[in-house]
Amino acid sequence: MAHERGFPPEEFAARTARAQALMAAHGVDALIVCTEPEVRYFTGFHTPFWQSPTRPWFTVVPVTGKPVAVIPGIGAPSMSATWIDDIRTWSSPRPDDDGVTLLTDTVRELVGPNATVGLPMGPETHVRMPLADLDRVRSSLGDFVDVTDIIRSLRMVKTDREIEKHRRICSIVSDAFDRLPDVVSTGMTERQAFQAFRAEILAQGADDVPYLVGATGPGGIDDIIRQPSDRVITDGDLLIFDTGSTIDGYFSDFDRNFAFTHADQSAKDAYRAVWEATEAGFEACKPGATTSDVFRAMNEVLKANGSLGNDVGRMGHGLGMQVTEWPSHTATDETPIEANMVLTLEPGLVWAPGKAMVHEENIVVGANGSEWLSRRADPELPII
């Protein structure tokens, strides 16, 4: 089946126009972005080259006109394949001036010397360039204004094309989870189980599996973000896998819990509690509500089922070009839910000391109710 790869130029033109409308409303003449998802959002530039910390990469979005790429020469051919026309390069690495002068000159040329220049500086952002170089840029261009809210409001609400990519990767990972009882069994080590499950996700068609955590434990699990050990899976174990897999640079992020051979009633009850909490979160997730309403809907169910609390700090989050994005379902987040948000619902509880149960599904918010992107988990703890 043929699926669209990447996006047509009109997608990026529309993203840029939305950004520029917000910039104009907030008096921002230009914004600078320098992390992988931010640069990709405006340009379509998609490469694992970001794994290398050596070189900084910038995109400048002026309040009118197309974004301008300010990047190391090694990226010019790939950037030329995007919708971007104005690509300015330097030969990097060049520690004495790794893009600093080219970036500041570009900003001045685009919007003048006394412009208001924005940079994302708030929650869930960081500046991917050496701090000493950032200080030079700041002293040259003046202090930045924080444009986290602009970037956040853009990226939180997905386009139909973005949602289609989420739908596809969630379907692929759902297929892989359906196959899990055939590829993981008692007698394997955790490491072997991870390897088998990763291979299955890729065989189902994912591009990559950047995030895979999980654990096994006798009758329960204490740490849900662990990496695998040489522990051998045995009868009576619980297993959790939580994966952020990608297609075309868009993530799924959901988990599944299983028991091998048998499970205690307390584990089954904990599973049912987080499953019911997910139902409650799904019902609450509609335009007009807030992320805190969604949190409270899930938390009520967990409290009614004897939760001893949890360490996750939230019960789900946005999903997109990163495995987690704004907003967060917390008691105080209060972000208004909007149509076309792609979100996770991730209620978790500690049902006994050292025993945690976390369930996670992915949804897209519609005008009149949400849609499951992940294939809804079984309401009862699956036993392999």
Contacting residue, 9, 112, 123, 218, with a second copy by CB under 8 A: 123
The CA-based dihedral angle spanning residues 275, 281, 283, 284, taken in that order and rounded to the nearest 10 degrees:
160
Instruction: Kindly give the pairing relationship between strand 369-372 and strand 237-247.
Output: unpaired
Q: Which stretch binds a second copy (CB under 8 A): 10-18, 169-177, 178-186, 318-326?
A: 318-326
363: its two tokens: 């949804």
Binding part of the chain for a second copy, among 20-28, 59-67, 150-158, 207-215 by CB under 8 A, reads 207-215
Nearest alpha-carbon partner for 348 in 319, 316, 378, 377: 316
List phi, psi (to 5°) of 258: -140, 155
Which 3 state secondary structure label does DSSP give 258?
strand
* Cα–Cα dist 349/310, whole Å: 5
Subset of 4-43 contacting a second copy (CB under 8 A): 5
Min separation Cβ 79 and a second copy, Å: 10
Contacts with a second copy: how many residues (CB under 8 A)?
A: 73
Tell me which stretch binds a second copy (CB under 8 A): 105-113, 123-131, 174-182, 264-272: 123-131
Identify which of residues 16 and 35 has a Cβ nearer to a second copy in the complex.
Answer: 35
**341 is a site residue for a second copy (CB under 8 A):** no
Q: Radius of gyration over alpha carbons of the chain, in Å?
A: 23
Q: Which one of residues 8, 9, 95, 142 is an interface residue with a second copy (CB under 8 A)? A: 95
Confirm if 191 and 383 have CB atoms less than 8 A apart.
no
- Which residues 249-308 are close enough to bind a second copy by CB under 8 A? none
What is the amino acid identity at position 361? Answer: E
**Between 13 and 76, CB nearer to a second copy:** 76
Contacts of 351 (CB under 8 A, 6+ apart): 220, 266, 267, 269, 270, 273, 306, 307, 308, 357
**Stretch near a second copy under the rule CB under 8 A, chosen from 7-15, 68-76, 100-108, 374-382:** 68-76
Nearer to a second copy, 330 or 370 (CB): 330
Distance CA 288, CA 292 (A): 12
**How many other C-beta atoms are found inside a 10 Å radius of the C-beta of residue 61?**
27
Q: Which residues 6+ apart lie within 8 Å of 345 measured at CB? A: 278, 281, 282, 285, 294, 298, 315, 316, 329, 360, 361, 362, 363
Contact with a second copy (CB under 8 A): which of 9, 13, 21, 54?
54
Taking CB under 8 A as the rule, does residue 129 contact a second copy? yes
Compute the least distance from the CB of residue 332 to a second copy, in Å: 9
Chain positions 221 to 250 lying near a second copy, rule: CB under 8 A, are 222-223, 225-227, 229-230, 244
Q: Which residues in 138-197 contact a second copy (CB under 8 A)?
A: 144, 146, 148, 195
Written as one string, the DSSP assignment of 151-170 is HHHHHHB--HHHHHHHHHHH
- Told to check if 368 binds a second copy by CB under 8 A, we report no
Q: Is 131 in the site for a second copy (CB under 8 A)?
A: yes
**Which residue from 62, 67, 72, 118 is in contact with a second copy, where contact means CB under 8 A?**
72
Residues 57, 332: Cα–Cα separation, whole Å: 35
Shortest Å, Cβ 256 to a second copy? 17
The answer to the question of residue 212 lying near a second copy (CB under 8 A) is yes
